[in-house]
């Protein structure tokens, strides 16, 4: 029987349990230099002390104009490595493994003077109209992802996640709604994400897993569905992606969206389908902060891992409390043992 507290080994990644902290932007880089601050240190290390098996550091961008805001993390320079390495080392000390989400915000880069995207289509009236990347610029982009991945490997991360979801650059290329190009990157919607995956993989040790976060369905009218995302995932798997983190939406204005309810476990059916169809492990995410429910997702083998986002914003010790509620053993830090005594 497997449950939320069953360890999981996948390639070179050894997790003590199945609980993941998903990437959540903190917009807390005060100096706008992309360098992690004390806030990030305390925020992530608290969740490591709080028992999470895998922590995925928030969207971290490959170039300054690839940030949602100028307060986002970046990995376009070697100067950004040491502050992240310090977080990774401390999380390791408290038993968590750490991944980082490597990204480019594309047309959703709000502070970029002129955001770039596959096509010059604005996200909505409040956003700038992006400039369409030239074919040569598109061809140069995978290497920027690869350079950021190389720096992440130097910082000591245990896994890499590419942000292929929520309407950011990779998603923009893989969607007919945002990609109206007539060059090879428009004719084949998988081409950009595939090239980025290969480039990322080329900078990673062979046993380090590459995760891709995908939006399994789009919420806009006429947006893509599971058939398309499964086809994408198959191509990305061939290009080296080992594990999919299955989210949804983010490509268009929410008001216009046929968004499904955000009831508990609302994205688990997508994770289950991707897992079955693509044959890789998956991370399920989305309103799974009831421990019994998270445990059921693992027990029913809908996903290998479960991510708890807002639940961990409210409570860094979510994992320790989940173990107590489910009557499972976990390593409560010695300093906190009395807090968990029966
Ligand atoms: C404050 C905040 C910031 C987020 N930032 C990111 C991000 O950087 N990258 C990403 O892929 N998703 C991001 N998300 C989405 C979460 O990773 C997660 O998928 C979502 O919150 C649903 O999970 P939950 O119901 O457990 O919160 C963010 C969510 C929140 C609440």
DSSP state of 183: S
* Residue position matching structure tokens 């290497």: 143
Q: Is 213 in the pocket of ligand 1 (CB under 6 A)?
A: yes
Task: Please give the Cα distance from 180 to 5 (Å, whole number).
Answer: 45
End-to-end CA distance of the chain: 25
Q: With beta carbons less than 8 A apart as the criterion, state whether 211 and 160 touch.
A: yes
8 CB-near residues (< 8 Å, 6+ apart): 14, 15, 17, 18, 53, 304, 305
Q: Distance (Å, rounded) from C-alpha 3 to C-alpha 22? A: 19
Closest CA to 18 of 314, 285, 241: 285
Please indicate, yes or no, whether the overall pTM of this predicted structure exceeds 0.95: yes
In sequence order, the β-bridge partners of residue 340 are none
- Establish whether residue 287 lines the binding site of ligand 1, counting it when its CB lies within 6 angstroms of any ligand atom: yes
Q: What is the pLDDT along the chain (342 residues), one digit of tens a residue?
A: 899 999 999 999 999 999 999 999 999 999 999 999 999 999 999 999 999 999 999 999 999 999 999 999 999 999 999 999 999 999 999 999 999 999 999 999 999 999 999 999 999 999 999 999 999 999 999 999 999 999 999 999 999 999 999 999 999 999 999 999 999 999 999 999 999 999 999 999 999 999 999 999 999 888 999 999 999 999 999 999 999 999 999 998 766 556 667 799 999 999 999 999 999 999 999 999 999 999 999 999 999 999 999 999 999 999 999 999 999 988 899 999 999 987
User: Which residue among 19, 20, 21, 25 is best mutated to probe the pocket of ligand 1, counting the most ligand atoms within 8 A of its Cβ?
Assistant: 25
Q: Which residue, judged by its Cα, is nearest atom 22 of ligand 1?
A: 286
């Amino acid at each position: 029987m497997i449950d939320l507290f069953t360890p999981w080994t996948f390639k070179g990644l050894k997790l003590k349990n199945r609980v993941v902290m998903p990437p959540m932007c903190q917009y807390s880089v005060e100096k706008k230099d992309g360098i992690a601050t004390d806030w990030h240190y305390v925020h992530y290390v608290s969740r490591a002390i709080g028992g999470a098996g895998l922590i995925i550091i928030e969207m971290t961008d490959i170039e300054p104009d690839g940030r949602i805001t100028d307060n986002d993390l970046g990995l376009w320079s070697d100067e950004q490595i040491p502050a992240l390495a310090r977080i990774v080392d401390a999380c390791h000390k408290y038993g968590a493994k750490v991944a980082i989400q490597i990204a480019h915000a594309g047309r959703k880069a709000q502070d970029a003077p002129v955001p770039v995207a596959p096509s010059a289509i604005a996200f909505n009236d409040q956003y700038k109209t992006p400039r369409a990347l030239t074919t040569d610029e598109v061809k140069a982009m995978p290497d920027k992802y690869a350079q950021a991945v190389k720096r992440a490997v130097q910082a000591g991360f245990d896994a890499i996640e590419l942000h292929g979801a929520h309407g950011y650059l990779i998603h923009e290329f893989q969607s007919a709604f945002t990609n109206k190009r007539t060059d090879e990157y428009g004719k084949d919607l998988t081409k950009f994400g595939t090239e980025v995956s290969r480039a990322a993989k080329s900078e990673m040790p062979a046993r380090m897993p590459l995760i891709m976060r995908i939006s399994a369905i789009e919420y806009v009218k006429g947006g893509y569905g599971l058939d398309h995302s499964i086809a994408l995932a198959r191509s990305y798997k061939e290009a080296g992606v080992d594990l999919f983190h299955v989210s949804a939406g983010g490509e268009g204005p929410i008001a216009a969206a046929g968004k499904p309810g955000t009831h508990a476990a609302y994205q688990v059916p997508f994770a289950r389908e991707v897992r079955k169809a693509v044959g890789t492990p998956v991370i399920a995410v989305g309103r799974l902060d009831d421990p019994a429910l998270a445990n059921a997702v693992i027990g029913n083998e809908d996903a290998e891992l479960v991510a708890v986002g807002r639940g961990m914003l409210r409570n860094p010790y979510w994992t320790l409390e989940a173990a107590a509620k489910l009557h499972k053993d976990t390593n409560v830090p010695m300093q906190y043992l009395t807090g968990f005594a029966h």
